[in-house]
Structure 1
Amino acid sequence: MKNRRLSNLKYEITKNKSTLLAIIFLTLIILISIFAFLIPMDPSATNTSNILKPPSASHIFGTDELGRDYFVRTIYGGRGSLIVGVLAMIISTSIGVAIGTISGYFGGWVDNLIMRSVDVISSIPWMILVTVISIFLKPGLQAIIIVIGLFSWMETARLVRAETLSIKEREYVLYANSIGETSWRIITRHIIPSVFPTIIIAATSSIAGAIMTESALSFLGLGIQPPTASWGNLLQNAQSNLQSSPYMAILPGILIVFTIYSFNKVGNVLRVYLEPKVAER
């Protein structure tokens, strides 16, 4: 089985060019973001003599409205967006897995209560939730991570619950129940490992969704605040200069689109390896 999975994974990566490009793109973005500090240029350093300069040899993507190098700002913006995506994913996935397994495993009134609560939370527009939370939290990196993490776990919970309802009826789980294993032991040793492929796929989708949400909130001025850069607030700053400096919107916009696409593509690749029978080919 393991050899078959490796074979499917190898086939998907080597034969599907879009998958290979997505992996290469994500690898480059992550490495560049991690080692951005090696660039000998301060992303917040202003220069009034270089305001809104077009791309040139000294500034390959031009400068912004404060004379800051736009290429460096975009790199640091990628770091901010990726940090939000990963940390918000960890929070939302942890909550979703915990709630989904408890709801699916115990069933009955516990399941009904939890899932009705999930439905209520899901029915509230996220913009209202964010606006309310922003009253109590100062807009910034930590606040946006908390907001996205706490209000984006519902879909993961539904997926994990559905898998748990099926897995808890399998023979090895029924046997574990019959010999008196505790619910905690069954959930941690049998249920969660069995739904791991679903968790991995949900996690990669959560990263993509968190980056998109962060970009939207920062674009609206409710996310990461300047001078800290993110792709979302770079797009916001570009609004007033679209006619004279369109590159200010094009570069972060392209990076957002390709990063979200790449994370979703990588999720499908992991699905091929972890759950080949239902993988999309």
Structure 2
Amino acid sequence: MENRRIKNFINELQNSKSTIFSIIFLIFIVFISVFVFLIPINPDATDTANMLQSPSLSHLFGTDELGRDYLTRTIYGGRVSLIVGVLAMIISTSIGVLVGTISGYFGGKTDNILMRFVDIISSIPWLILVTVISIFLKPGLQAIIIVIGLFTWMEIARLVRAETLSIKEREYVLYAISIGQSSKKIIFKHIIPSVFPTIIIASTTSIADAIMTESSLSFLGLGIQQPMSSWGNLLQNAQANLQSAAYMAILPGVLIILTIYSFNKLGNTLRVIVEPKTAGGER
């Protein structure tokens, strides 16, 4: 089985240049985000004598409206966006897996109550929900992680619930129930490991969704606040200078698109490893 998974993964890389590009791009983004502190430029240092300078050798992607080096701010912004994406994913995935497995395993009234709660939360427009939450939480990094993590788990819960409904009818689970294993042990020993492929794929998609949500909220002024930068609030700042400094919107915009695309592509690639039969069928 392991050899087959490795073979399918290698075939995926050989047959898909976009997959190779996505993996290399994500490695590159993560690498520069981790080691950005080595750049000898303060991203918050203002220089009023060099405001809105076009790209040059001294500032490869120009400067912003306060004379700050735009490339450095974009890299720091990428680190913030990735932190939001990963931490929000951990929160949302943990909640979604817990709710989904409990709902699917126990069924009955428990399933009805949890799924109706999921429906209610899902029916509320996220912009209205976030706006209300922002009244009680000070906008910033911690607030945006909490908001995205606590209100983006519903789709994962539905996916895990659907998988759990099928898995709990399998022979090894029925046998575990018949010999008196506790529900907690069955869920963590049998159910969750069996839905792990779904969790992996949903997690990569969740990171992409979290980055997009953070960018949208920051663009609207409800997310990351100045002087901290993220790709979303860099786009927000670029609005006022589109005619004179279009590059301010191009760089973070392209990075958002490529990062979200790469995470989604990575999710499809991971499915080749964890679900070789499915991947083979797609071919």
**TM bucket by the smaller chain?**
over 0.9
CA distance in 2, matches of 1:52, 1:128: 35
Q: Does 1:225 align with 2:214?
A: no
Aligned counterparts, 1:121-200, within 5 A: 121-200=121-200
SS in 1 for 2:116: helix
The letter for the 2-side match of 1:239 is Q
Aligned counterparts, 1:100-139, within 5 A: 100-139=100-139
Which residue matches 1:260? 260
The letter for the 2-side match of 1:274 is V
- Residue identity over aligned pairs, in percent, reads 76
The Cα shift of 1:13 comes to 1.5
Which residue matches 1:241? 241
Which residue matches 1:213? 213
CA distance in 2, matches of 1:21, 1:14: 12
Which residue matches 1:35? 35
CA distance in 2, matches of 1:232, 1:14: 34
CA distance in 1, matches of 2:125, 2:157: 18
Structure 1 ranges of 4+ moved more than 2 A: none
Which residue matches 1:91? 91
Q: Deviations over 1:55-83 (max 9, x none)?
A: 00000000000000000000000000000
The letter for the 2-side match of 1:186 is I
Which residue matches 2:80? 80
SS in 2 for 1:174: helix
The letter for the 2-side match of 1:277 is K
CA distance in 2, matches of 1:231, 1:11: 34
The Cα shift of 1:247 comes to 0.4
The gaps in structure 1 that reach 5 residues or longer are none
SS in 1 for 2:181: coil
CA distance in 2, matches of 1:258, 1:22: 8
Aligned counterparts, 1:41-52, within 5 A: 41-52=41-52
CA distance in 2, matches of 1:240, 1:66: 13
SS in 1 for 2:185: helix
The Cα shift of 1:15 comes to 2.3
CA distance in 2, matches of 1:35, 1:12: 30
Which residue matches 2:16? 16
CA distance in 2, matches of 1:85, 1:264: 13
SS in 2 for 1:57: coil
Which residue matches 1:5? 5
Q: Which stretch shows the higher mean deviation, 269-278 or 85-94?
A: 269-278
The gaps in structure 2 that reach 5 residues or longer are none
The letter for the 1-side match of 2:9 is L
The Cα shift of 1:278 comes to 1.4
TM norm structure 1: 0.99
The Cα shift of 1:14 comes to 2.5
TM norm structure 2: 0.99
Give RMSD over aligned pairs: 0.5
SS in 2 for 1:223: coil
CA distance in 2, matches of 1:45, 1:15: 46
Q: Deviations over 1:83-116 (max 9, x none)?
A: 0000000000000000000000000110011001
CA distance in 1, matches of 2:131, 2:237: 21
Give the number of aligned pairs. Answer: 281
The Cα shift of 1:254 comes to 0.2
